[in-house]
Amino acid sequence: MDVYRLLPGDNCGECGTKTCMGFATELIERRGEVDDCPPMLEPEREDDRKELVELLTPPVRPVTIGTGDNAFVIGGEEVVYRHEKTWYNQAAIIIDVDDEMEGEELKEKVNWISDYSRIKIGQELSFNGIAVRAKSEDPSKFKEAVELVAENTTYPLVLCSYDSEVLKSGLEIVSDRNPLLYAANMDNWEKVADLAIEHDCPMVIGSTDIDEIVEISTRALSKGVEDDQIVLDPGTDPTDLRSTTNRLVKLRRAAIEDEFEPLRFPLLGIPSTAWMSEEDENDAAFMEASIACALVVNSIDALIFHSDEIWSLMPSLVLRQDLYQDPRNPASVEPELNEVGDPDENSPILITANFALTYYTVEGDCEGIDAYIYPVDTDGTSVTSAVAGDLMTADKIVDAIEEEKFAEKVSHKNLILPGKAAVLSGQIEVDSGWNVMVGPEDSSGIKDFLADNWPPKEE
């Protein structure tokens, strides 16, 4: 209602929604932005517009890092626990490099970070940014490294040094790329804040002392740093995870439950610190990953890693994908006859469940072959659960043969059922007259199964 009150109220429809009330709902559900409404941009509505924007700003202020297609937003969260609504902006996964790495080595790591991509449940898993650490503490050396990194990636960058002269030398190369400056502390905050203001880029405030964070952020805001340009690093201690996670909980509550202005910012965690406490590389990568796990479950907004081993990074990519699924919409796909590759009337029809994860796993396993896949409407549950819970039944499959007109798509009468749904095969054959072939238990075996069994032998 507060939102609606501030809108023009003439139902002009220019925003694409018929009524202002409808647009208000879109705004509250975060499906639209205030600027989608052209009348709100008129000068005489400036005050209302400002009030509306502030009203719609989530308790944790969103911060944008980088520019262009790879820019990402962190923060913007409204709830501490995902089940209370949903978490919105995935925790950013950033990997560090340093300015003492050899040119080729640096280039190779930067390219690997930027190129990594994997599709899971129909979504792309990739990293978000690169942190350049000024290990040398030498401005000219840092500048050189930043230059090399910037030439080899369009990913957003984090410039890491407590020396404002070093940060400045990095900014000479990438000030137009909206990098994140790391980090302001009690000693240097004024100079870092000056850089953030001058170059209009976000900055990190780092301290394990919440009082210090409050003091620096209050002063930085008063000095003129924008309230959507601050990120907080409350310290990731690899051996004392208790205080580490407790600080996260306190800060998240401060932002969301208290809406305490000096702390309404996204939180940065640095599992990379595990490399300070472990000697062995594999141990360090294991610890780094496990620390990241604790931070992601406790709703961190961004993470900096050191490892470049995919086995240690993939679990974090997957965990954040999982936890940022919207719990209000169970991940499922439409129950319809889908095509993979270029199927014709001789291609097999594979049956599976409409749980998104199941469906996309099967689809991925069919890469390179031509087939139809029919995901039965199992209320978004997996084959195993659906068979056990009577959500995947012979009746549903028999009905689908009719409704989805399987007979018009193919010239044969064969269905391939998941191995875990074998129990349904008899009834399907009796009720539909189609022949049922029981496929593999795990869809990774589909290609081998088809190689041995398709086309089916004439009886």
Partner 1 sequence: MRLYNKEKIQKVLKEVLQSIQSIDLEEDEIVLEGVDVDAGGFEFEVSPKAIPQSQLMPSIAEEEEIEIEEYEPILREWENQIQEIPMGATRADGGTRGEVVKLGGEKCLPFYPDCENPHMPIVTFDTFDSKVPLPGVISKHYEEVIGHPGEWAKKSVEEYGAEMVTIHLTSTDPKGNDTPPKEAAKSVEEVLEAVDVPLVIGGSGNPDKDPAVLEAAAEVAEDERCLLASATLDLDWKRIADAAMEYNHNILAWTTIDINLQKELNRRLMNYGVDRDRIVMDPTTAALGYGIEYSVSVMQRIRMSGLGGDEELEFPISNGVTNAWGAREAWMGAEVPKEKYDEEWGPREFRGPLWEVFTGFSMILAGSDLLMSLHPRSVMVLKEMVDRLSGEREGLSNIENWVTAY
- Cβ at position 88, least distance to partner 1 in Å: 15
Binding mask 225-244 for partner 1 (x = CB under 8 A): ----------xxxxxxxxx-
- Cβ at position 381, least distance to partner 1 in Å: 9
Q: Which one of 12-20, 24-32, 322-330, 405-413 is the stretch in contact with partner 1 (CB under 8 A)?
A: 322-330
Question: Is 81 near partner 1 (CB under 8 A)?
Answer: yes
Question: Is 253 near partner 1 (CB under 8 A)?
Answer: yes
- Cβ at position 347, least distance to partner 1 in Å: 24
Q: Which residue has the tokens 């940014």?
A: 129
Among 12, 28, 294, 422, binds partner 1 (CB under 8 A): 294
Q: Are strands 180-184 and 129-133 parallel, antiparallel or unpaired?
A: unpaired
Question: Is 56 near partner 1 (CB under 8 A)?
Answer: no
- Rounded to whole angstroms, the Cα distance separating 77 from 90 reads 10
Check if the beta carbon of residue 131 is closer than 8 Å to that of residue 340.
no
Which residue, 239 or 346, has its beta carbon nearer to partner 1?
A: 239
Report 347-406 residues binding partner 1 (CB under 8 A).
357, 361, 382, 385, 389
Which residue, 17 or 358, has its beta carbon nearer to partner 1?
A: 358
Q: Which one of 4-12, 209-217, 393-401, 416-424 is the stretch in contact with partner 1 (CB under 8 A)?
A: 209-217
- Cβ at position 405, least distance to partner 1 in Å: 32
Number of residues that bind partner 1 (CB under 8 A): 83
- Cβ at position 38, least distance to partner 1 in Å: 34
Among 10, 258, 339, 344, binds partner 1 (CB under 8 A): 258
- Cβ at position 237, least distance to partner 1 in Å: 4
Q: Which residues are annotated as a binding site for 5-methoxybenzimidazolylcob(I)amide?
A: 352, 358, 380-383, 443
**Among the listed residues 110, 98, 63, the one whose alpha carbon sits nearest the alpha carbon of residue 301:** 63
Question: Is 338 near partner 1 (CB under 8 A)?
Answer: no
Strand order in the sheet with 349-353: 338-340, 371-376, 349-353, 414-417, 435-438
Count of beta carbons in the 10 Å neighbourhood of residue 30: 13
Report 187-206 residues binding partner 1 (CB under 8 A).
206
Which residue, 72 or 305, has its beta carbon nearer to partner 1?
A: 305
Q: Which residues are annotated as a binding site?
A: 12, 15, 20, 37, 352, 358, 380-383, 443
Binding mask 422-441 for partner 1 (x = CB under 8 A): --------------------
- Cβ at position 21, least distance to partner 1 in Å: 32
Among 124, 257, 390, 395, binds partner 1 (CB under 8 A): 257
Binding mask 127-166 for partner 1 (x = CB under 8 A): ------xxx-x----------------------xxx----
- Cβ at position 328, least distance to partner 1 in Å: 11
**Token reading at 83:** 């089940």
- Cβ at position 410, least distance to partner 1 in Å: 29
Report 60-79 residues binding partner 1 (CB under 8 A).
none
**Among the listed residues 130, 140, 134, the one whose alpha carbon sits nearest the alpha carbon of residue 172:** 140
Which residue, 49 or 252, has its beta carbon nearer to partner 1?
A: 252
Q: Which one of 3-11, 283-291, 368-376, 410-418 is the stretch in contact with partner 1 (CB under 8 A)?
A: 283-291
Question: Is 297 near partner 1 (CB under 8 A)?
Answer: yes
- Cβ at position 306, least distance to partner 1 in Å: 7
Report 94-123 residues binding partner 1 (CB under 8 A).
118, 120
- Rounded to whole angstroms, the Cα distance separating 129 from 70 reads 8
Check if the beta carbon of residue 378 is closer than 8 Å to that of residue 386.
yes
Which residue, 53 or 319, has its beta carbon nearer to partner 1?
A: 319
